[in-house]
């Protein structure tokens, strides 16, 4: 639910220009194809432009350079980047929502824990011995905060998050439901009988400021030292980050990606869904990796996006994919050519025999 805003108010905040009724009001956000009166929508992808002429939304954010092909019924607000402007507006609206405060009587906060001002701790949440919870942190029901954990100011831990002992969570971090921070790294050593013995994982996890960690994502604690998620990293749902991994600032990863132990991922990288990285490699700053790619060696520079398993430059991947799709055709041609070659061999053999006679 949005607060009620007029087109003039939105345009002033976004430094945009109004086309239409500056007093038009909105209190909800909707996709442009589903918009109705009182809704705010946006248009950034040209393939949805036809909805602009039929939408019922009262206000639509559009790019300044959009040229209309038909009359529109909605009030338009022209901005430099409609998608970025929407994000800015919704972030502002979210910041105006009242924050929960107080420790619920059904929560358990150990006496040695330090809790800052305006903190919320929901029912059945647990805050362990020696933990530090800074100002305005939000801890939702059934969250587990282990001993000596440090959660810095204004972070939000949604229901069911588990943060194991000695881990550190930065400022303004958002951790979604079911995520586990600091579970043991996958460390086992075979003995002479081939059985695997557990290697104690005595490090921790350090999450920087302004990170977002998706639902059911797991970040393993280091065998020693720290697994590090640097500032402004965004991890989607269902991601596995193994022990002693380091993820550079401003890197984003889509769902079901996995990074094996001790791999170092650079700054400003972008990973599609289901990307897999082996352990003990390094990924340079700015590398882009397409969905389902498998990375088995270090990447030293960000020349062009990578795709495939094993990964290759995207143009090579597209060429290889085009050839792969034609393999049945190539096989048929090969069978035909083999038959012709064999037929020619038989004819030459017969001719040679006839000449010898």
Each residue of 18-29: pLDDT tens digit?
999 999 999 999
pLDDT value of position 6: 96
Buried b / exposed e over 123-161, threshold 16 CB at 10 Å, is: eebbbbebbbbbebbbbbebbbbbebbbbbbbbbbbbbb
CA–CA distance, 248 with 237 (Å, rounded to integer): 18
pLDDT value of position 110: 98
Q: Cβ–Cβ contacts within 10 Å for residue 60, how many?
A: 27
CA–CA distance, 85 with 13 (Å, rounded to integer): 9
pLDDT band at 149 (very low <50, low <70, confident <90, very high): very high
Catalytic machinery residues: 243
pTM: 0.87
CA atoms within 13 A on the CB side of 181: 38
Which residue, chain included where needed, has tokens 């082996």?
278
Average pLDDT for 211-238: 98
Quick: pLDDT tens for 175-205.
999 999 999 999 999 988 889 999 999 999 9
Q: Say whether the peptide bond before residue 310 is cis (omega within 30 degrees of 0).
A: yes
pLDDT value of position 351: 84
For the beta sheet containing 288-289, the strands, ordered from the edge strand earlier in sequence to the opposite edge, are 102-103, 120-121, 138-139, 156-157, 174-175, 212-213, 234-235, 252-253, 270-271, 288-289, 306-307, 312-313
Average per-residue pLDDT for the chain: 95
Which of 107, 200, 203 lies closest to 164 in space, CA to CA?
203
* Percent of the chain residues topping a pLDDT of 90: 84
What distance lies between CA 247 and its chain's CA centroid? 13
pLDDT value of position 349: 86
What distance lies between CA 145 and its chain's CA centroid? 24
> Would strands 246-247 and 138-139 be described as parallel, antiparallel, or unpaired?
unpaired
Residue 146 near residue 129, CB atoms below 8 Å = no
């Amino acid at each position: 639910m949005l607060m009620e805003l007029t087109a003039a108010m939105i345009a002033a905040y976004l430094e945009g220009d109004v086309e239409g009724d500056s007093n038009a009001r909105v209190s909800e956000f909707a996709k442009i194809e589903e918009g109705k009166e009182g809704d705010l929508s946006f248009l950034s992808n040209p393939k949805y432009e036809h909805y602009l002429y039929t939408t019922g939304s009262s206000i639509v954010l559009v790019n300044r350079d959009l040229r209309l092909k038909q009359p529109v019924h909605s009030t338009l607000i022209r901005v430099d980047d409609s998608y970025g402007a929407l994000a800015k507006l919704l972030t502002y609206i979210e910041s105006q929502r009242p924050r929960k405060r107080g420790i619920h009587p059904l929560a358990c906060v150990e006496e040695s824990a330090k809790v800052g001002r305006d903190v919320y701790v929901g029912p059945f949440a647990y805050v362990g011995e020696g933990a530090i919870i800074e100002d305005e942190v939000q801890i939702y029901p059934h969250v587990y905060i282990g001993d000596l954990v440090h959660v810095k100011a204004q972070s939000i831990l949604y229901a069911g998050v588990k943060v194991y002992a000695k881990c550190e969570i930065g400022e303004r971090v958002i951790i979604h439901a079911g995520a586990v921070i600091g579970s043991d790294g996958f460390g086992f050593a075979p003995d002479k009988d081939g059985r695997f013995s557990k290697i104690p994982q005595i490090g921790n996890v350090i999450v920087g400021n302004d990170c977002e960690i998706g639902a059911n994502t797991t970040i393993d604690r280091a065998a020693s030292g720290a697994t590090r998620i640097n500032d402004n990293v965004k991890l989607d749902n269902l991601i596995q980050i193994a022990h002693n991994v380091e993820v550079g600032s401003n890197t984003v990863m889509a769902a079901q990606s996995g990074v094996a132990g001790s791999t170092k991922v650079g700054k400003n990288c972008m990973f599609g869904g289901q990307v897999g990285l082996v352990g003990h490699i390094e990924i340079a700053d700015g590398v882009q990796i397409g969905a389902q790619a498998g990375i088995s060696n270090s990447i030293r520079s960000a020349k062009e996006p990578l795709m495939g398993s094993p990964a290759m430059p995207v143009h090579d991947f597209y060429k290889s994919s085009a050839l792969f799709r034609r393999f049945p055709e190539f096989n048929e041609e090969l069978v035909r050519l083999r038959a012709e070659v064999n037929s020619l061999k038989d004819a030459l053999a017969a001719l040679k025999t006839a000449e010898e006679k």
